[in-house]
Chains A and B, each alone.
Chain A
Amino acid sequence: DGGITQSPKYLFRKEGQNVTLSCEQNLNHDAMYWYRQDPGQGLRLIYYSQIVNDFQKGDIAEGYSVSREKKESFPLTVTSAQKNPTAFYLCASSISPGQENIQYFGAGTRLSVL
């Protein structure tokens, strides 16, 4: 079954700690995306990658970092510099980078601060 897998489903971060959210896809998609969703706000783009070994900042990249060493994987690190990390994080992928292409989403990771 092809799809996008995000883990963990729930994650807790302590003060000053970096945490990494996993996103893996077996759809053979070139493009991958990370979004943050807060109550009452639309999806906001954190980072995106159009191809392996390349990624671009989205609208709210500060306090986050990513890597794209493999086509299947696009992990997101929430660093201690991100002062308000509590949110629902969604990873998505599309066949190619064109914004006319459908984005398919993982089940999400809910991050909370202890």
Chain B
Amino acid sequence: GQNIDQPTEMTATEGAIVQINCTYQTSGFNGLFWYQQHAGEAPTFLSYNVLDGLEEKGRFSSFLSRSKGYSYLLLKELQMKDSASYLCAVSAYAGNNRKLIWGLGTSLAVNP
């Protein structure tokens, strides 16, 4: 079956670095997305990885290892506004169709 695992909750301190992991078991992998979602709001796109390695975008970086079915989102210099849920989603095959499979999200609390 198709499965995505993320930690449910994480806590970190303002100014610190936090790594949010995502592991997946899917068929026909075609890329992995990270989205940020503040409470009661829409998810917003953060990053997309299709090849192995690290993609850096300002304070946020995302890493992918296809052989291990593993990704992480790295947030540096944490700010209070980074308190949100972080969703991992994988583009994979379900039957004959390609679809996005969503993880349950990791709720990150940044404390002063």
Contacts and interface: CB of A to CB of B under 8 A. Distances in A.
Interface of A: 40-45, 88, 90, 98-100, 102-108, 110
16 contacts: A40-B104, A42-B4, A43-B87, A43-B89, A45-B99, A99-B30, A99-B98, A100-B31, A100-B50, A104-B45, A105-B42, A106-B42, A107-B41, A108-B40, A108-B41, A108-B42
A99 B104 contact: no
Contacts of B50: 100
A100 B30 contact: yes
A54 to B, nearest CB: 14
Contacts of A100: 30-31, 48, 50, 91
Interface in B79-112: 87, 89, 91, 98-100, 102-105
Q: In this complex, which of A40, A41, A98, A100 has the most chain B Cβ atoms within 10 angstroms of its Cβ? A: A100
Interface residues of B, number: 22
Contacts of B91: 99-100
Given A99-B91, A100-B31, A42 B48 contact: no
A53 to B, nearest CB: 19
A42 B105 contact: yes
Q: Which 7 A-B pairs have the closest CB atoms?
A: A105-B42, A99-B91, A42-B102, A43-B102, A99-B98, A42-B104, A100-B31
A41 B104 CA distance: 5
Q: In this complex, which of B42, B87, B91, B105 has the most chain A Cβ atoms within 10 angstroms of its Cβ? A: B42
A98 to B, nearest CB: 7
Contacts of B89: 43
Contact of A99 (B4, B40, B99): B99
B104 A90 contact: no
